[in-house]
Chains A and B, each alone.
Chain A
Amino acid sequence: MKHKTLILSALITSLVGCANNPVSSYKSKTDARLNNIYSGNLGTAMEAESTTDVLFNMEYGSLLRMNQRYESSNLYFTRAQSSIDTWAASWANTTAGKVSTSATAMLLNDNVNDYEPRGYEKSFLTTYHALNHVDLDNLDNARIEIKRMYQIEQAIQNYNQYLYNQASADAQKQSKDKTEDYLTKQIVKNFDFKDVNSPEVLALKNSYQNAFGHYLAGFIFEALGEPSLARPGYVKAGQLNPTNKLIQQSITNIDKKVRPKTGYTDLLIVEETGHAPQIKSNEVHVPIDLNLVGTKNSCVNMINVFYPSLIIDKTNQATYSYTLDNSIVQPLPMVNTNLMAARAIKDNTSYIITRNVAAAVRNIATSQAACSTGGGLGTLLSVGTSVGGALLDRADERSWALLPGQININRQTLAYGTHTIKVVVNGVTYTKEIQLNKPYQILTFRVIGNQVLFNPQNSMLQN
């Protein structure tokens, strides 16, 4: 057993230097990026990289989008999408597709795996890819991304079914093994999942479908003159966000074939605020007594329990009202990314428990082996394995933090010509003149820190 302990220690040491460093903190990385963004240093918040890392490509694509560099943003979104497309194709018509969780992850931690975007991140990627195409005045490409969104949602649904089946099987297996059953109970007792079990989180239909993506689909299909596809976009948005009155009005308008009169624009105003929650790993040491489950002479009396918690962006408000040609407009909440992230963690609870059990089993085995060695080497190994275990026992902190924390919408019918929008953030007024000259247009702006980042308003949708 001594050599296995040494192998594990060597494996930990060697992986610390890898790209997927198992002991790195993603939260620290995003803290630095956000500080730069808040300071207005969008250009230096991240450095360009040529990488297949899907999370980097999503984050950097978002940053470039904030900086109005839509073509470059699409380059990174496309890279991220190509990683997801392979995965989605494997789950499109089956509940036995590609699984990225490796046994190494079970042995060490999730950070050694390439990042697997959460369901809501996958659907947001297509949404933002589509918005970039709208900003580049290419509705046909936006339509492709919108179609990809609902195909990916089907894949996510199949994948979630697989996870559900897997969780049931794991739970059955764990309940049959006395040690694992005991460990599971100790672990669950020490989880603090209050944030992810709130009524608002539980009220979500699921964690991966975003109402804004479907509303945008409805709007784009409507602009393209495809009401049979626009209607389900609005209907799905309404199922995901039943309280938004604008959605029901949009369905009614499609049914009544309402289109903007000649010389008028149906303007969709998209307000994005803040950033998506960061994830922090919490670790607690929990005393155990393996003698209770029949293990004799165990020298192990402690395990590490780790679980993720959300760090919500408190810098920005959820909504900011604004004026459009001096009329006050109240944006209507559409998507709360904080709730979606919380729901994603809640839906992943069984996997988090399995990860904890696997880590506890690993730590118990290596510590027990070190104890058995005896003498100075035994003490050294014991300390080494417990330090190594503590370093490894972390929840995955990776998440797409540069997504907005909240997305709000409104829709106005305005005559062609120049109009002025004003947004007040912390007492400072940000003004943008917009040119309307097509029946359907989209205006997007992002409030982050003390900045309002408007899109350039070159998105002129076709008739």
Chain B
Amino acid sequence: MKSKLLQLSLLSVLFISGCATPKVAYVDPNAVNSLNTNFSQNDLRTVAQEMAGQLIQSGKMNSCKSFTISPVKNATDQYVDTSVMTNAMADKLSNSSAVHSIYVVSSDEMGNQVDELSRQNQSGLYDQSSTSKMGKMKAAQCRIDGKLTSDTSVGVDGKTTLVAYTFFVQVFDVQQGAAIFRNSKNISKAMTY
């Protein structure tokens, strides 16, 4: 018992309140965060790029002269910024030499596009011979639609949590409403305490 007081007294000068200065470093953006089962930025980019890769391989995109991407619906319970997925797919498809279809402005981007056209045509500030004209935008022949879902299950021991994510993508011919491509990509993450 006496030694306990001595230990406590000695410990009293050894604060463990973390006096170290925080350090900042660049890290691998593709590094896997194995601490939780959340859908990470890396997961977002990976599934979107893989899906775009499969779409390119299918050759279906070349049946569309132009395409756009609708906002990916987030049906999980996590704060997932799905614009990262939309952008990753648009990047991969637009930069692929195997895809001849051109990317046209999406519904998310329409606000800024309309603002710019209005500024050029209605503000009175521009030489009208140099402005982009209203009513000349290219419409999308095909539309890519995506949805992210998740399903969480807990092991019988209560210590393991498994979250299964599914990224589902369809490509529609806008005029006909017909799906010309459908695919899904699954990711499962497990965490054990």
Contact = CB atoms under 8 A, between A and B. Distances in A.
A106 B77 contact: no
Contacts of B74: 227-229, 231-232
A107 B1 contact: no
Interface string A8-50: 1001000000000000000000000000000000000000000
A365 B1 contact: yes
A147 interface: yes
A227 B71 contact: yes
Nearest to B82: A228
Contact of B33 (A93, A101, A217, A235): A93
Contact of A103 (B14, B35, B36, B71): B14
A369 B2 CA distance: 8
A311 interface: no
Contacts of B125: none
B93 to A, nearest CB: 20
Contact of B17 (A102, A147, A229): A102
Interface stretch (A132-140, A275-283, A356-364, A415-423): A356-364
Interface in B79-128: 79-83
Contact of A233 (B33, B38, B79, B81): B79
Contacts of A147: 79
Interface of A: 1, 4, 7-8, 11, 86, 89-90, 93-95, 98-104, 106-107, 113-114, 147, 150, 154, 157-158, 161, 179, 217, 226-229, 231-233, 235-236, 239, 295, 358, 361-362, 364-366, 368-369
B18 A103 contact: no
Contact of B5 (A99, A103, A161, A362): A362
B8 A161 contact: no
Given A228-B72, A228-B73, A104 B12 contact: yes
Nearest to A100: B17
Interface of B: 1-2, 4-6, 8-9, 11-18, 22, 33, 35-36, 38, 71-83, 193
Nearest to A94: B35
A150 B1 contact: no
A322 B130 CA distance: 58
Contacts of B71: 227-228
B77 A235 contact: yes
A236 B35 contact: no
A90 B16 CA distance: 14
B15 A103 contact: yes
A450 B191 CA distance: 50
A1 B2 contact: yes
Contact of B11 (A11, A106, A232, A295): A106
28 contacts: A4-B6, A11-B12, A89-B22, A90-B22, A98-B18, A102-B17, A103-B13, A147-B79, A154-B36, A158-B36, A179-B1, A217-B79, A227-B74, A228-B73, A228-B80, A228-B81, A229-B79, A229-B80, A231-B73, A231-B74, A232-B74, A232-B76, A232-B80, A239-B77, A358-B8, A362-B4, A366-B5, A368-B2
Nearest to A108: B12
Contacts of A366: 5
B31 to A, nearest CB: 10
B156 to A, nearest CB: 20
B73 A99 contact: no
Contacts of B16: 99, 101-103
A103 B17 CA distance: 9
Given A4-B6, A233-B79, 4 more contacts: A161-B193, A228-B74, A228-B81, A362-B5
